Amino acid sequence: MDRWWIVLLCLFFAGCATQRHALPEPQTLFEDRYFAPRPVPAAADVFAVSADMKRYLRDHIAHRLGWHDKALELVRALRGETELKLAYDATKTRTAAEAFDDRAGNCLSLVIMTGALAQELDLGVRYYHVLMADVWSRDGDLLLANQHVNLSIANRAVNRRSGEGDFRLTVDFLPPEELYRLVRSEIDENTVIAMFLNNRAAEHLVARRLDDAYWSARAAIEADRSFLPAYNTLGVVYLRDHRFAEAERVLAVAATLEPENPQIMSNLELVYRGEGRTAAADQLAARRVRIEPVPPYHYLTQALDAMRGGDYAAARDLLQRELKREPYNHEVLFALAVASANLGNVKEARRYLTMARDTSTTRRSREIYTAKLELLRSVRVQ
């Protein structure tokens, strides 16, 4: 099956550590005439602080004296030591106010909410792209690359003239022992807004709402012209609409930013095949394979084929190889549970199913895995 590759900044967030290039004017890449107008959140709406957020800060944090106490109290609230009790949910990318109302969000939503709360307290905020391996997810024919961002809050007043302050309070949803090993690159608020809009575009693509996806991807490029994932997403929108010339034009810009990015190359390959340019597609595919011999989900796809043929032992071995590359992928863990159950190892199946539940990224998927786990617990272990 052909797959479109897009960068979704959701479970772990989007990177945009690309170098500055002489980019074309965004208007030359947009084709508004093909897509019905759709509303897109304004930049101010993404970080807007609601009346409920202000009330919470006033009643629980703002009464504290001193910058240091305010920052620490906010971090304690985010960690669940007071009333916030945030939950992880990647169903959609929320604005700051939506994440606060739901007390839930994916990492990008929670970073945006945290930044909005900190700025309302007049605390300094800095956002960072965290350099780490992509985590992959998929939905139908879309493969989604998930990367990571976090933020730091100044635990004392920031010098208004120099912008300097003590930014040692880092808010992140990774375990501290993992965080200390990671390298970060600072990004500005416009890039965070572009990440938000690109996430929304990807979510619209998953839901097959092409008009919404187009306008969100368009707005992401306008928010930060150097943000690579937005070009790739817009290219996928055009691909889905069978507008190959437009897709090639925007993906060529993305390829200029990262010429050896295998996801962009894969999308360009689909463009060439859609245009009937088989030789060019084959040449690009060969180059992509040299860069990435084993693409995401390679072993999982083979394992599912093996299970369809009844070879659960071979499937288990393939899934173990995939798990080494994607240790927190709930889809791989669930497939391992299925393979183990069919091999008669109920105890192992329960273990993998528990891990699938604990690493799933939406409330709905956790409910499904919990229900399956309850059924499996009724099976007697020999």
pLDDT tens-digit readout, 72-91: 888 888 877 556 888 888 88
Mean pLDDT, rounded, for 209-225: 97
Q: b vs e for 339-364, b when ≥16 Cβ sit within 10 Å of the residue's Cβ? A: bbbeeebbebbbebbbbbbebbbbee
298-377 and 1-264 share a CATH fold: yes
pLDDT tens across 93-150, in order?
999 999 999 999 888 999 999 999 999 998 889 999 887 666 677 777 777 777 778 8
- pLDDT tier, 197 (very low <50, low <70, confident <90, very high otherwise): very high
- Look at residue 237 and tell me whether its pLDDT is greater than 80: yes
Mean pLDDT, rounded, for 227-250: 95
- pLDDT tier, 296 (very low <50, low <70, confident <90, very high otherwise): confident
Task: Let me know: does 17 contact 129? Beta carbons within 8 Å.
Answer: yes
The per-residue pLDDT for 159 is 47
- pLDDT tier, 71 (very low <50, low <70, confident <90, very high otherwise): confident
The per-residue pLDDT for 19 is 41
CA angle centred on 289, ends 283 and 290, rounded to 5°: 95
Is 298-377 assigned to CATH 1.10.3720.10?
no
The per-residue pLDDT for 16 is 32
The per-residue pLDDT for 143 is 77
The per-residue pLDDT for 90 is 82
- pLDDT tier, 166 (very low <50, low <70, confident <90, very high otherwise): low
Query: Which helix (DSSP H) or strand (DSSP E) does residue 177 occupy?
Result: helix 176-179
What does pTM read for this prediction?
0.82
Mean pLDDT, rounded, for 275-296: 93
- Look at residue 179 and tell me whether its pLDDT is greater than 80: no
- pLDDT tier, 171 (very low <50, low <70, confident <90, very high otherwise): confident
C-alpha atoms less than 13 angstroms from C-alpha of 62 in its C-beta half-sphere: 13
Where exactly are the structural domains of the chain?
A: 1-264, 298-377
Q: In angstroms, rounded to a whole number, what is the distance separating the alpha carbons of residues 60 and 73?
A: 8
- The CATH class of 1-264 is mainly alpha
With residues binned 3-state (H G I as helix, E B as strand, rest as coil), the percentages for the chain, rounded to 5, are: 55, 10, 35
3-state SS class at 129:
strand
The per-residue pLDDT for 43 is 93
